[in-house]
Amino acid sequence: MIFQHLGDGNLHYCVKPRHRAPVADAIFSGVAALGGGISAEHGIGVEKAKYLRLVRSEAEMAAMRRLKAAFDPNHILNRNRVFELPV
């Protein structure tokens, strides 16, 4: 099932759990190939974290890590959810 926010083009989909991984792989690979994004108002979250590198450059990833470190220097908020702890 696909649904969206009327007017802004954000598509959301609902897939049975047994089909979720292959469907997500196909959707996010296609979105990345077209230059799209994989999140909007809901953020990345745990399930989409592994796909973040498909749509963000290494420079953008580094900037996000710097922001995370600035706001959470002790690494206590959502530990290892999107970014792994620094070594």
Q: Where are the domains of the chain?
A: 2-56, 57-87
Predicted pLDDT of residue 80? 87
Evaluate whether 38 touches 60 at the Cβ level (below 8 Å).
no
Predicted pLDDT of residue 6? 63
Condensed to tens digits (0 to 9), the pLDDT of residues 18-56 reads: 998 999 999 999 999 999 888 877 788 888 899 999 999
Say whether pLDDT at 85 is over 70: yes
Predicted pLDDT of residue 87? 64
Q: Is 10 exposed, middle or buried (0-12, 13-18, 19+ CB in 10 A)?
A: middle
- Distance (Å, rounded) from C-alpha 60 to C-alpha 53? 9
Mean pLDDT for the chain overall: 87
- Distance (Å, rounded) from C-alpha 24 to C-alpha 15? 9
Task: State if pTM tops 0.85.
Answer: no
